[in-house]
């Protein structure tokens, strides 16, 4: 638990509540209801605590216990009997706000009944504990709020990750990622992973596009809704939450399909949906018939979601679109080359284009093989440290 960011007081209360069970089970409120925004560490705190206390964790989320029968099968016996090897047990009902009132009849009522008779601590998590559906359930639970960590706490965590991963990151870059995460640690880490993929150095320029976007919902959460939603309506609503335009969202979906859908037949079906979405996108461009937009959106969201069984082995992170990343890198390269070309032009009295094509390759060889010459030429051309590093590194030219 010491590695989880923020919510120190809440984590302390969580530990104390679980530890009281080793002495005596509470008479009335035998469950702890943890609530708070996504990405604040609700679930991972429970997982980490059971690891710290060497407990057995029985865990499932709302999609696995939608009915009374499913709830009883998941937690009924576990709440009554001890473990095989004598360990203490903790039962976690994760993301119970995923249970709907009409489709999941009996689920919440059965959870309440299990809480009444349990001999093991039970923890529930949700974004909003004060949802009307949980009125009866709350009467049998202690409530514990997890709040959003501060920007400083998230930035410190990102620095630690970069240090352990061997990534040299500018403070301004990490600060921007932390600010745009709006207290969602998971979102910040996902952003960092996507932006630093394959890099040893992360600059402000690498993340600057974050500054210009109005973040409604982290793109990773939107992708999760598209890929793993239980119904088409939820999948289509992801469009409204996305902080990118539909064409950019198509790039994200297209990039991540092969990493999440492993079954060849299902992968083929999902790619067919993307192909159809692309056809409608091009028709819109050529005909300006915007009534076709609904087909473009439906095929790349609900079409993809309906194409596979949603059974992915293990946890698979979402990846930043390679094509967009390459375009961004190319733009930075061109800007750097232009700046270096202008420096050479000023000294050698030739065009910057000729300087890049004819002079720069020789300067690169000299810089890579002669430190003294590198120092002298750098001073003569008035090159800054970033320009010198770029030339030595053999950037695109």
Q: What pLDDT is recorded for position 396?
A: 44
Residue 31 has φ and ψ, to the nearest 5°, of -135, 150
Predicted local confidence at residue 315, as pLDDT: 67
Q: What is the pLDDT of residues 192-214, one digit of tens each?
A: 887 887 788 998 888 876 654 44
Residue 228: exposed, middle, or buried by beta-carbon count in 10 A (0-12, 13-18, 19+)? middle
- For the stretch 36-81, pLDDT in tens is 988 788 999 999 999 999 998 888 765 555 566 777 766 666 666 6
Query: CA 336 to CA 332: how far, in whole Å?
Result: 6
CA angle, 38 as apex, 36 and 120 as ends, to 5°? Answer: 60
- What's the pLDDT score for residue 206? 80
- Which stretches of the chain score pLDDT less than 70? 61-68, 73-86, 98-106, 209-218, 240-244, 312-315, 323-332, 394-397
The number of beta carbons lying within 10 Å of the beta carbon of residue 40 is 26
The predicted structure's pLDDT at residue 175: 92
Model pLDDT, residue 104: 47
Reported in sequence order, the residue ranges of the chain that DSSP labels E, i.e. its strands, are: 31-35, 56-61, 89-94, 122-126, 141-145, 168-169, 201-202
Percent of the chain surpassing pLDDT 90 = 24
According to the model, what pLDDT value does residue 59 have?
Answer: 81
- Rounded Cα gap, residues 220 and 226, in angstroms: 10
Phi-psi region of 251 (alpha: psi -120 to 50; beta: other; left: phi over 0): alpha
Q: What is the pLDDT of residue 274?
A: 94
At 118 the three-state DSSP class reads coil
Nearest to residue 174, comparing CAs of 146, 198, 193?
A: 193
Upper half-sphere CA count for residue 191 (Cβ side, 13 Å): 30
Measured CA distances, 137 to 17, 21, 27, 90, 115 (Å): 18, 20, 16, 18, 9
pTM for this model (two decimals): 0.53
Going from the N-terminus, what domains does the chain have, and what CATH number goes with each?
Answer: 8-145 (3.40.50.300), 151-212 (1.10.8.60), 231-318 (no CATH), 323-393 (no CATH)
């Amino acid at each position: 638990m010491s590695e989880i960011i923020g919510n120190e007081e809440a984590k302390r209360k969580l530990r104390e509540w679980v530890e009281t069970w080793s002495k005596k089970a509470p008479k009335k409120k035998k469950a702890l209801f943890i609530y708070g925004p996504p990405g604040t560490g609700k679930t991972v705190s429970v997982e980490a605590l059971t690891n710290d206390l060497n407990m057995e964790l029985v865990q499932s989320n709302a999609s696995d216990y939608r009915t009374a029968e499913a709830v009883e099968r998941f937690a009924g016996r576990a709440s009554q009997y001890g473990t095989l090897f004598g360990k203490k047990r903790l039962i976690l009902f994760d993301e119970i706000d995923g249970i709907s009132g009409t489709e999941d009849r009996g689920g919440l009522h059965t959870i309440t009944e299990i809480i009444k008779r349990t001999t093991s601590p039970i923890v529930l998590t949700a974004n909003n504990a004060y949802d009307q559906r949980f009125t009866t359930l709350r009467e049998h639970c202690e409530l514990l709020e997890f709040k959003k960590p501060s920007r400083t706490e998230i930035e410190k965590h990102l620095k630690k990750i970069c240090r352990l991963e061997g990534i040299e990151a500018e403070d301004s870059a990490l600060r921007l990622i932390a600010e745009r995460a709006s207290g969602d640690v998971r979102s910040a880490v996902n952003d960092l992973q996507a932006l630093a993929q394959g890099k040893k150095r992360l600059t402000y320029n690498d993340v600057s596009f974050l500054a210009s976007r109005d973040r409604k919902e982290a793109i990773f959460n939107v992708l999760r809704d598209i890929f793993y939603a239980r119904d088409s309506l939820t999948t289509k609503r992801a469009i409204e939450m996305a902080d990118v335009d539909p064409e950019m969202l198509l790039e994200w979906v297209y990039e991540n399909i092969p990493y999440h859908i492993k079954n060849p037949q299902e992968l083929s079906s999902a790619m067919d949906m993307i192909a159809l979405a692309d056809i409608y996108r091009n028709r819109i461009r050529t005909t300006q018939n915007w009534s076709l937009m609904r087909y473009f959106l439906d095929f790349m969201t609900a079409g993809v979601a309906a194409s596979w069984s949603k059974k992915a082995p293990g946890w698979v992170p979402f990846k930043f679109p390679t094509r967009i990343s390459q375009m961004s890198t190319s733009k930075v390269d061109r800007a750097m080359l232009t700046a270096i070309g202008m420096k050479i032009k000023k000294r050698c009295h030739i065009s910057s284009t000729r300087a890049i094509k004819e002079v720069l390759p020789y300067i690169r060889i000299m810089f890579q093989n002669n430190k003294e010459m590198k120092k002298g030429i750098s001073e003569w051309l008035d090159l800054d440290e970033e320009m010198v590093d770029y030339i030595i590194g053999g950037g695109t030219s």
